[in-house]
A and B are shown apart, each in its own frame.
Chain A
Amino acid sequence: MGNLISEAFSMGWMALAILAGLLVYFQVSIGDPAAKKRAVFKTFIGIISCFLLFMAIANYKTNFYGESRLLPVSLVMITVTTFIMALYFTNLGALLKIGGMMFFVAAFLSGYGNWLPQVEGGFPPVEEKKTWDSMTPQQLADEGEKIIFGGVGKNKEQGAIGKGQCPLCHAFHAGMLGERAPNLLGLPTRGNERLDDPKYSKGNPSKREYEVKEAFPGSGTAETAQEYIAESHACPSCYVVAGYGVKGTNDKQSPMPAIHKPPISLSLPELAAVDAWMYLREGIDPPSFEDLVKSYEKFIPEADRPKQADEKPAGATSLMADGSEPVDQIFAKGQCISCHTIPGIPGAVGTIGPKLEEGTTASQRIKDPTYKGTAKSPTEYIMESIVDPSAFVVKPFPDNTMPKVFGQKLSAGALKKIVDYLSQVKTGAPPPKI
């Protein structure tokens, strides 16, 4: 209380002094005793209320941030003051009373707000910056899940896919379809079995019968399970699991692209994150981040390593291709080339799906008696085949092999380019220009 009074004095001494001066002035100047008495009395009331006002302000000033529940008291003080003043200053009576009423309402509500429990919202969680090396294994694994599936906790969602595009071919859960590539469940433990496979020819890459012997000359073979995983990412054709090779190559060549190269271009830390998720989701502690990265450094030469993704804004789009690329890149980015043979497209020699010569075959298939789709023209048929692959399945290929996500993952422009191109590919004719 004492410091409030002194604070009020220090703030309001000028106003108080003026009022006191007025008091003296009235005392001296007014002749009529009745008028003099009235004037002096009014000024006196004025001084008191002025002082109360400054006390209230002082209270606000000192307690603005405090927990003090006394704040409303100062408002009530103002209210009482105004009503008392209204009794004496009849000219301003209405204004004062209204002001007092408003003060009262505000004071009541303010007091009510202060009376209720006070909960302060905490500071926000620290913004995550991708400082890979300081992440806990769990955080690293979350990043990995984002890369594979596009988001934390999305690994069971049908069609969830991240920039790694892994679920296009690989299955991740028990019992799920994996015809184009091995199911990756149990990979961390399976790595060692693979190393023991004579076909892998551990330590002696030159004896391998695959199309590519080494990730790069002098890289050697994997020594640990983790290195096996790293090698598989960096050099898919260095070892092909039986039955998953490109058809017709007798499992000598893998349809999988090198993940560190375009179009997927995962950086080393990102690859490490993907691996961390693979370990952690099975309850196995992953190797340290440094070890993970080291395993990749063994198989990816310095020059081939993609630069950190942070340079260009990551995750700007969840699309594989937006249609601004030339058509061969669209085929590459959409991973069509892994499964299909497309005349005129470099690298498109896959045999998991039919050869795409839609200029000739599309119209035949529409006439096929088993065709149940809605397409009327070849272009419609091609579009339907991309967006809804199960509408018509070319014999003898199995159904449900081609992902059904391309309708969402390719922009309209990209789809159009694909359709345009494919409708010009005719059997026996030279491929159209890109």
Chain B
Amino acid sequence: MKALMSLGALIGVAGLLLLGGMVFDVVPSTTIRLVEGYMPIQMLLEVACYVIGFTGLSYIMGAMGMAIPRFWQGIGFWVFLMLYLKFRVYPPIPFSVRAMYGTVGLVTVFMWVSANEEDWNKFKQPIMNVLDAQTGMKRLLRYAYLVAIPILVGGFSFNAMMPKSEEPIELRTVHPAPPASTKVHGKTYTLQTSQNPYRVNPEGKYDQEFSNANIVEQGMGRLMKPNANPWDDKNQGYLKYVREGGEIFFQNCHFCHGDNLNGRGLHAFAFNPIPANFTDPGTIAQLQETFIFWRVAKGGIGLPNEGFPWASVMPPWEQHLTVDEIWKVVLFEYWHTGYYPRTWD
């Protein structure tokens, strides 16, 4: 038990030192990198390591007779969590999510310190001591609180009520519910039933299985089946359409959406928000092909009500591209990112 706890303490100290070092640039901030693709689990595991580390630390400190009071343990852990979320994860976590996590953290710290009567009493002890004010020091502290807390509360409420000139918060539903049908170039497409006319097998029939088979690795994308090179001029059918879509993409789209389709094109950072990142599993990978068709054709101005505040500079491409060209571009986007269009059955 003791050995285990010592190990935990070791992990805790090492972790804290490393984190502190990375935050304050003592050691290179890439010493332990959050690896793209593994980050979500990595983050959970890291936090778990810290919890083990803290447990070990508090055990060892207790054994050495320098136990940290439960009160400070609780507060300390919560502060640590907030700092970790703020500084460790890059890109920074939005304030709203940090607020949610902070609240959950506060609740769980409370659940932890009040899980049993003994712990709860230990936790309350410092508060009770101040309230009771048996010693002169405590009494002084109590008076200090008596003055400080109202001032603090007043300050907070003043801060909250004070008119501020902030950029308004961006609230938008990224994937609003599509309309039932959309009209492009005078033709009506029912989004639920329409199909990409170029997603075809060698017989010329719509066949998603066939085109999916041309994509070897999901997510990472861009790995091709042997002999499936769309840039080959001799290609016919699906791969030819992919190539044509690629040409249209690089003539029209890549300035914003980037040549890796990751939303970081030449002009991307002139816009706010920056263009959609198709390599992200949260964009085209979880949408139907017709949804993309609708978005490309109608652009930012075609967003429905719930897409408020319509913050998109995407032009309505139906004014520049033919229907066929739009379908081909969509085909290319899926091929290049290596995702499959979503289907519902």
Contact = CB atoms under 8 A, between A and B. Distances in A.
B186 A119 contact: no
B186 A153 contact: no
B186 A121 contact: no
A152 B190 contact: yes
Interface string B168-189: 0101010000000101011111
A326 B193 CA distance: 38
A118 B306 CA distance: 10
Interface in B154-178: 169, 171, 173
B30 interface: no
Contact of A281 (B171, B173, B187): B187
Given A119-B306, A119-B308, A122-B305, A153 B188 contact: yes
Nearest to B191: A153
Given A117-B171, A153-B181, A280 B189 contact: no
B190 A283 contact: no
B194 interface: yes
A138 interface: yes
B194 A283 contact: no
B335 to A, nearest CB: 25
Contacts of A138: 183, 186
A142 interface: yes
A152 B188 contact: yes
A118 B305 CA distance: 12
Nearest to B173: A119
Interface in A273-296: 280-281, 283
Contacts of B181: 152-153
Contacts of B186: 138, 280-281, 283
B94 to A, nearest CB: 12
A152 B183 CA distance: 10
A152 B190 CA distance: 8
Nearest to A69: B160
A153 B190 CA distance: 6
B189 A121 contact: no
A152 B186 CA distance: 12
B305 A121 contact: yes
Interface residues on chain B, size class: 10 to 19
A162 B238 CA distance: 34
Contacts of A121: 305-306
A191 to B, nearest CB: 20
Contacts of B187: 281
B68 to A, nearest CB: 31
Interface in B2-41: none
Interface in B231-264: none
A294 B306 CA distance: 44
Interface in A133-168: 138, 142, 145, 152-153
Interface centre among A117, A153, A280 (most CB of B within 10 A): A153
A153 B194 contact: yes
Interface string B287-313: 000000000000000000110100000
A119 B303 CA distance: 14
Contacts of B185: 283
Contacts of B305: 121-122
Contacts of A283: 185-186
A20 B171 CA distance: 49
A164 B173 CA distance: 42
Contacts of A119: 171, 173, 306, 308
Contacts of A122: 305-306
Contacts of B306: 119, 121-122
A145 B189 CA distance: 13
A313 to B, nearest CB: 23
A153 B193 contact: yes
Contacts of B183: 138
B303 to A, nearest CB: 12
24 contacts: A118-B171, A119-B171, A119-B306, A119-B308, A121-B305, A121-B306, A122-B306, A138-B183, A138-B186, A142-B188, A145-B188, A152-B181, A152-B188, A152-B190, A153-B181, A153-B188, A153-B190, A153-B193, A153-B194, A280-B186, A281-B186, A281-B187, A283-B185, A283-B186
Given A121-B306, A142-B188, 17 more contacts: A117-B171, A118-B171, A119-B171, A119-B173, A119-B306, A119-B308, A121-B305, A122-B305, A138-B183, A145-B188, A152-B181, A152-B188, A152-B190, A153-B181, A153-B188, A153-B190, A283-B186
Instruction: Give me the 3 closest cross-chain CB pairs, A-B, nearest first.
Output: A117-B171, A122-B305, A153-B190
